[in-house]
Amino acid sequence: MTLKVFLRDSLLGVKVTLLYSIFRGLDALTRSVLVENEGGEPFYLEKVLSACVDMDDRDFEMLGLFGSWARERHIQRMPLGYGRQNIASVKGESSHQEHPFLALVTPGTSQESGEVYAMNFVYSGNFIAQAEKSQFNSVRMMMGIHPEGFTWKLEPGERFTAPEAVLVYSGQGLGRMTRTFHDLYREHLIRSPYLHEKRPILINNWEATYFDFDEKKLLEIAEDAAALGIEMLVMDDGWFGKRSLDDSSLGDWYVNEEKIKGGLHALVENVKKLGMKFGIWIEPEMISPESELYRRHPDWAIRIPGRDITQSRAQYVLDFSRDEVVDGVYEMIAEVLRSADISYVKWDMNRQLTTLGSCALPPDRQGELSHRYMLGVYRMQERLITDFPHLLLENCSGGGARFDAGMLYYSPQIWCSDDTDAIERLAIQEGTALIYPVSAMGAHVSVCPNHTVGRTTPFETRGDVALLGTFGYELDITKLSEEEKVLVKSQVEKYHKYNDLIREGDYYRLASASENRYYDSWMIVEKDKSRALLFCVQVLAEANAKSRFLRLKGLDPDKRYLAEGKTYAGRTLMHAGLRIPAAFGDFKSRLIEITEASLL
């Protein structure tokens, strides 16, 4: 249900509509703004925020998600002081560094108690989330498109619609806020046919081969993977144009048949004979200076006329504010997708927007470029999933730089981070799951020593951490030991046994290694509270350590549950806890199934 509040400025001829939408059974609403020019002259919008809430200060603390490449969405909490405190991005994406989320919490707020006022932006471009404490101890929360570099010209009769901001209230701590966001996004935002389906367990060749592969190497990986129960092969960067390093061919979206001899169709058919599906990596928004497309259309790159274009990763950014650019790139990629039975696409975006200028926009509309660019990205993704309705689309941006609610509208899962180390992933996945359903988190088991941090962790721990997500593999499976291959089979069995629960259940955070340094723990509980899955990771071992008692959450106090061969009352598990013996060694994990005793 949506409430519309109409406001008018008769002098300027401006009509503003404030939209408030509510959702049955959820302590959440969405807020947006529509601006219309009802006058006879054009005017320029210089700031259009989507949500604003005013309240008295209650010694609020401000909670946000911060990080960097490979360290995305770490939770940070700080006192709310006087003046304006911002979380923002002007990088042309929601970014690795700061996230379009802001929460104000009352003192002492925990997972189970305290009040939370939270905002999350359904948008993937430049944003600002701001909390301002005034001299009179009043507080204003705001969220919307970042005004820096933004102007939008509205001619008479034209309208501008701001993206939605999601507002969530919890009077029962951060855990209740988290589950409200999860339910809202699963029920009202994500619309993929894969939303309530198991995703195929995939293996991606990137960390196995990087650019050094051909069709023989891919088939070797596929053969070993299929034998272990893995269900899809994903061919990552390097399959197109003349791409052998990251310095060429973006924009030349045709198969490199020197690498893939016999063409893509033949490769895909051979993979299908193994009982596997096939997926590819693309980076549609980018163009290499060393590409046929750039030689034909240098004006398609975002640039300021007369100035050098800033290169990053030896690439420029295509001007997706222009329909002809979006359509031209889309047709090349669609032709590839039509040429073979491709089930999955990983859409990447590996650099920020700089030297902002469009060859197609007049001077007084250059301030529209960043937003028009984002609308172009959305338009192309909408077209992709419409023309290929059975395609599983996974978004990515140098890892997790565009893990946001705007992207979830088009893809049911997003690559969480390029850091696949299981211990690093604990904090990354904790911060991500604070807002987003765990079924949306792209998570893989990778090789050790890990390619990002060099850490070696047990294969079992890597699998357990990756289960809290889409689950897959990012390694050269042909080089695994026989013992590791047995563990892959076991992990595949766990995925099929538990994925329905993990995907659809309620998420509860029990402990955070970011806070205590030693151990991490979370639970997934069936909606009807008949079954739960407890994850425990001992990060650092302690000498002469005693067992821990983990107080479980989300169970029915009046039900009886079976855990590790013993029966407990639900209230016992939640108030006294379940004994978890200390493990010998660092980075050890345990996965415990908890089942309603009467169901056995």
Residues acting as catalytic residues: 348, 418
Count of Cβ atoms closer than 10 Å to residue 454 Cβ: 9
Contact indicator for 463, 473 with CB cutoff of 8 Å: no
E runs forming strands in 11-154 = 14-22, 28-37, 43-45, 49-56, 61-66, 74-79, 83-89, 101-105, 116-121, 127-133, 138-145, 152-154
| Rg, C-alpha atoms of the chain | 25
Neighbours of 423 (CB within 10 A): 21
Q: Which residues contact 50 (CB under 8 A, 6 or more apart)?
A: 31, 32, 33, 121, 143, 144, 145, 162, 163, 164, 165
* CA–CA separation, 435 and 429 (whole Å): 10
Both structure tokens of 145: 């498109």
First to last CA, the chain: 43
Q: What is the dihedral of CA 544, 546, 548, 549, to 10 degrees?
A: -170
- Rounded-to-integer distance, Cα 10 and Cα 147, Å: 24
Task: Kindly report the backbone phi and psi dihedral angles of residue 131, in degrees, each rounded to the nearest multiple of 5, phi listed first.
Answer: -120, 130
A 10 A CB-CB count for 25 gives 9
CB atoms within 10 A of CB 453: 12
What's the longest Cα–Cα distance across the chain? 79
Rounded to an integer, what distance in angstroms lies between the CA atom of residue 460 and that of residue 215?
A: 30
In this structure, what is the dihedral angle of CA atoms 381, 382, 388, 391, given to the nearest 10 degrees? Answer: 60
Q: What is the DSSP letter of 162?
A: P
325 neighbors 303 (Cβ within 8 angstroms): no
Confirm if 96 and 401 have CB atoms less than 8 A apart: yes
Structure tokens, 392: 């599983």
* Separation CA 477–CA 220 (nearest Å): 9
Angstrom distance (rounded) from CA 447 to CA 14: 58
The amino acid at residue 294 is Y
- Could you give the CA distance from residue 557 to residue 576 in angstroms, rounded to a whole number? 12
| DSSP tag of 96 | S
Instruction: Look up residue 353 and give its amino acid.
Output: L
d(CA 297, CA 286): 13
CB atoms within 10 A of CB 586: 16
| The residue to which tokens 């990354």 are assigned | 428
Give 458's Cβ-side CA count (13 Å radius): 17
Q: How far apart are CA 208 and CA 222, in angstroms?
A: 12
User: Across-strand partners of 5?
Assistant: 18
